[in-house]
Amino acid sequence: MTADVIDGKAFSESLKQDVAKQVAILKEKYNLIPGLAVVLVGENPASQIYVRNKNKSTLAAGMKSFEHRLTPDVSEAELVGLVHKLNDDPAVHGILVQLPLPKHINEAAVIDAISPAKDVDGFHVINSGLLATGGKGMVPCTPLGCIMMLKNRLGNMSGLDAVVVGRSNIVGKPMAQLLLNENCTVTIAHSRTRNLSGVVKRADIVIAAVGVPELVKGDWIKDGAIVIDVGINRIEEEDGKTKLVGDVEYAAAARHAAAITPVPGGVGPMTIALLLKNTVTAACRQTNVAEPEI
């Protein structure tokens, strides 16, 4: 068996086009231009690339982008002060503080300061609570992108066995919650899980969000399973060049799976498209406007 490749890049491009159409309708009908503020603290090279891409994609979708770059020595109080200002700014509908933050700043305190209605990353405790209790909050972009790809492939997921490897607050836990909302039977595995291979082997859906290169072996994948690889790991090859690999042993897993996401080009591009979509949703909710259906 050779798996179908789930093309996250193509999927995200079509999603971004849909978002741009929504933005055009909002502008024309309500004079509403969704705005996203991105706050970057320090000079982490990966974060700088993410922020640049977010800014570019936001503008390309016809939205407003507000970029705030702060020096690495900024105090927690100053950062929280900026977040409060953005909370009060009616032109800003979404706020994203790029993580990780420098060690002297308490990330949880900064995320807590973001108005839950503007928390387009979906990390605020109110939004985690709403997701867990079936309420209408903001859902974290990466798991939201994964569930969209799964729904697109499978349609109805009711009763399927899903295993999420990883239990972080930003990927693993919300992912498990979204699968539960689709009536999957969900197992969450983590670093203390015994017999991980056995747990993965019984899954119809495998989500790997670990951060360990190729931890999930190809022969752990049940024939016909769907594999979503969230991991992004930079590894050095023998010739000194670096390449990106996921948390799944891709080529071997593709021999068993019915469909699999590649790294790069799978989950990664979806995350940014869902950030734009969440910003449109937030803008519509804050202004009591129905979100245009495309």
Could you give the residue numbers annotated as active site? 54, 98, 121
In the complex, the smallest distance separating the C-beta of residue 77 from ligand NDP, rounded to whole angstroms, is: 26
Q: Which is nearer to ligand NDP, 122 or 172 (CB)?
A: 172
Cβ 230 to ligand NDP shortest distance, Å:
4
Q: Are 286 and 164 in contact (CB under 8 A)?
A: no
Say how many C-beta atoms besides its own lie within 10 A of residue 32's C-beta.
18
Q: Using CA atoms, how far apart are residues 149 and 163, in angstroms rounded to an integer?
A: 16
Q: 172-181 and 141-154 helices cross at what angle (nearest 10)?
A: 40
Q: Min. distance of Cβ 173 from ligand NDP in angstroms?
A: 9
- Cβ 212 to ligand NDP, closest distance in Å? 5
| Cβ closest to ligand NDP, residue 210 vs residue 221 | 210
The closest of 78, 104, 83 to 95, measured between CA atoms, is: 83
- In the bound complex, which residue of the shown chain has the CB atom lying closest to ligand NDP? 168
Residue with Cβ nearer ligand NDP (175 or 284): 175
Both tokens of residue 37?
């503020």
Nearer Cβ to ligand NDP (26/259)? 259
CB of 188 to ligand NDP, least distance (A): 8
Is residue 226 left, alpha or beta, with left meaning phi > 0 and alpha meaning psi from -120 to 50? beta
> Between 245 and 252, whose beta carbon lies closer to ligand NDP?
245
Positions touching ligand NDP (CB under 6 A) are 142, 165-168, 170-172, 189-193, 196, 209-212, 215, 230-233, 267-268, 271
Helices and strands (DSSP H and E) totals, the chain: 10, 11
Q: Nearest 10 degrees: CA dihedral of 267, 273, 274, 280?
A: 180
User: Do 171 and 143 form a contact (C-beta atoms < 8 A)?
Assistant: yes
